[in-house]
Structure 1
Amino acid sequence: MRITVLTVPDCPNARVVEDRIARATAGRSADVELVEVADQEQAARVGMTGSPTVLINGVDPFAVPGAPASVSCRLYRGPDSRVEGAPGVADLRRALDTADLTGDCECPRVDAADRGGRRRLAPVAGGLRAVQQAVLRHFAAGRGAPAASELETVAAEYGRAAAEVLADLAAEDFLTLDNAGLIQAAYPFSAARTGHRVRLTDGTELWAMCAVDALGIPDMLGTDAVITSADPVTGEVVIVTSTGGHMTWQPSTTVVYVGQRSCTGSAADIACGALNFFTSHHTAHTWAEQNPQYTGTPVDRNHAEALGRSVFGSLLTASAPAGASSDPAEQAQDGPVQG
């Protein structure tokens, strides 16, 4: 595991966060690096949104969607609502646990949660991000999957046809297409009804590909929502209510199983069937025993919520400037992706 601490020179909280990381990583194998950031330009390049910023495998698990790059002091709010200049040890441990669950395996795989650490935010180059975000906004408005013809204006800004960009997005597993080239899903949204319904405060009904996707939608859209699902073993209804960024789970014993079926294929094919809500660890383990084709583990609500936020939180807040270069050198300057 790779942990990078981004700080400005002489940051008073640099030693604090390093000490807390040492305590949080006790018993783990982790490489910790301290990087001093000199100016705003470097902060934007490396993904620092205040000093100190902690990156785990290149991702900021405490990222606030839409937060700009900054060399100012950064504040963190703990579970007890206290504000400090560094994340707490317990919060760091939860972030490390989540990173363990979504880390790379030895064989090439598309991780259901974060695409093997690459997350769900498409690159700017070739119009991929602009078209991806246009697709997501179409879903978020309750209009379902857009046709390619509805995306031509956006794709044309990059000198491309919408169908070509959609094919590239599908090849990289940012969305899925049927044999006719129609959008079936654009993570976190499904064009068809699934077992995971998300109702927004304005009454809009959306359908998520899996439990983790459903948990990421309220944060991604910046709105309150009610997620309704069911335990695949007992059929008992699970309701997660998101209000002001805080989620209430019913029943409170509910967990999310994070797993996948194989090391190849799209997340829709290999993992969405496993990423479900279960009313208890017992039913999650019962399901796992009944479905040996999937390997994974149940995680608690804090882990599941953090996973949804980290994967989907910034999908619509990250910029997609028109006419962006397809030069890999420029693309690399996008910095760490948090969505």
Structure 2
Amino acid sequence: MRVEMLIVPHCPNGPVLRERLELALGGRTDVELAEHVVDDQAQAERWGMHGSPTLLVDGRDPFAEPGTAASVSCRLYRGADGRIDGAPAVEELQRMLGTAATGGADRAAGRSGRGRLAPAERGLRAVQQAVLQSFATTGSPPAAAELESAAEPFGVPAAEVLAELVAEDFLTLDDTGRVQAAYPFSAIPTEHAVEISAGPTVWSMCAIDALGIPVMLDTDAVITSTDPVTGENVRVEFAGGKSAWQPATAVVYYGVCAGNGPASTVCCGYLRFFTTRATAEQWSGRQVDLSGAVLDQAEAERLGADIFGPLLSAPAR
């Protein structure tokens, strides 16, 4: 099988489709994956490109409606749940490519490629945003009274809203019913610390979550983590809308292990910072039932921004 990506120069959704494809393929050796940059309308017509990004499977666009004209415009995809996205979800790619589901690989990109923003119905988004705001301002989850206040306008008990947010993998609870994690934040220490400018130092669930926090909060921040192979520090500083990585060779491994469960179980331990691509590949090669890819700095930042950027800017109802 030959799978080709067609993108215009600097397409923001190109890396998103590429990483979802790699997760969907799960290391299959019978697939030849290629990428082509299309610069103008003539090339789009020659390749059969229906907007950027376009996916061709053995020369055919499986997502295009019959009669769709060739185009170099930005392309949007409607998922099975009706949501609009810049690339097909991992589950849809798996079905299209005949790849067996990997028991949660799609969660690495955020709830089957649907992202981490809870629906506005039944107070889900309002409570989610109250939890995120509490982490951002205090470093801890909110008290029960704050959750009840967020849920009250919707006429739904906070406990019921929390249960639904857990079921949909927007957050996790500990044995006492208190919020333990609300992607991207963790209430317990992890190897990824994020020092928020004029705010607390918080823990993130994974490397991608850490990179999403400064974008979500629209603030400067300093991320510190550790390469699990060498023990060396990785530091990412966001200041004035720009980032600086130390060391300059640092990368992120973006992976998922086989099995079922929330992202905190099957993904978060496998989305990590590394000082070099070599150590990322060394580490991933030692893991059992792991699939994924090494992301460069720009790809990792873009993914974090795509997943977490909208979480606090979207209206709660």
Match of 1:55 among 67, 76, 95: 76
Question: How far apart, CA to CA, are the structure 2 residues paired with 1:243 and 1:288?
Answer: 31
Structure 2 counterpart of 1:134: 130
Q: Secondary structure at the residue paired with 1:149?
A: helix
Q: Counterpart in 1 of 2:115?
A: 119
SS state at 1:234 partner: coil
Pair 25,127 (structure 1): closer, same or farther in 2 beyond 3 Å: closer
Relative to structure 1, the CA distance from residue 56 to residue 196 in structure 2 (aligned partners, 3 Å threshold; closer, same or farther) is farther
* % same residue: 47
Deviation at 1:170, TM superposition (A): 0.5
Contact 1:258 1:296 in 2 (8 A): yes
Partner of 1:329: none
> Which residue number corresponds to residue 282 of structure 1?
278
When residues 153 and 227 of structure 1 are mapped into structure 2, their CA distance, relative to the original with a 3 A threshold, is same
Counterpart AA for 2:218? G
Equivalent positions of 1:315-334 (< 5 A) are 315-321=311-317
Return closer, same or farther for 1:239/1:99 CA change in 2, 3 Å cut-off: farther
Find the partner of 1:266 among 244, 262, 266. 262
Q: CA RMSD in A?
A: 3.5
Give, in angstroms, the shift of residue 209 of structure 1: 0.4
Deviations 1:185-225 (A, max 9, x none): 00000001111111122152111000000000011000111
* Contact 1:102–1:117 (Cα < 8 Å) also in 2: no
Contact 2:90–2:112 at 8 Å: present in 1 too?
no
**How do 1:1-339 and structure 2 match up within 5 A?**
22=49, 28-29=56-57, 30=61, 31-32=63-64, 53-55=74-76, 106-107=100-101, 109=104, 110-321=106-317
TM-score, normalised via structure 2 length: 0.73
- Cα 1:32–1:175, aligned 2, differ >3 Å: closer, same or farther? same
Count of aligned pairs: 265
Confirm or deny: 8 A CA contact 1:199 1:227 kept in the other structure.
Answer: yes
Question: So what's the TM-score if we normalise by structure 1?
Answer: 0.69
Is the 1:136–1:189 Cα contact (8 Å) retained in structure 2?
yes
Aligned-pair CA distance for 1:295: 1.9
Q: Which runs of 5+ in 1 are unaligned?
A: 4-13, 37-51, 62-95, 322-339
Cα pair distance change 1:114/1:142, threshold 3 Å? same
